Amino acid sequence: MKELEIWLDRAPQYSQIYYWRTHGGVEVDFIAEKAPRIFPFEVTYSKKIDAKKYKNLKVFLNNLPSKTAGFFIYNGDFHYDSDRNIFFIPLWAVG
């Protein structure tokens, strides 16, 4: 998380980190906004892709007017869902 804050602080454009949740209970762990882009992140210690967290990322990405990437950080392997533009990144690669 600290590295993400440093990346955002170095940007000359507006940036912030926040939480996202719908009235229906769909939520994303955190959103990093680095104008004009928005990056959603789901983070879990699981070695498997959590279906609910994956669905939440897809819902968030489907509601954005512009195409952006989503990030799923977990204890599994590197993987890329090209249909949804979601990157699955092992925890060891970001920690």
Best-predicted range by mean pLDDT among 5-9, 13-17, 31-35, 69-73?
69-73
Please give the domain boundaries of the chain with CATH numbers for all domains.
2-94 (3.40.1350)
Torsion of CA 81, 70, 95, 45, to 10 degrees: -70
Query: pTM value?
Result: 0.81
User: Where does the pLDDT of residue 5 fall: very low under 50, low under 70, confident under 90, or very high at 90 and above?
Assistant: low
User: Given this model, what pLDDT does residue 32 score?
Assistant: 85
Task: Write the pLDDT tens digit of every residue in 53-82.
Answer: 999 999 999 887 777 899 999 999 999 999
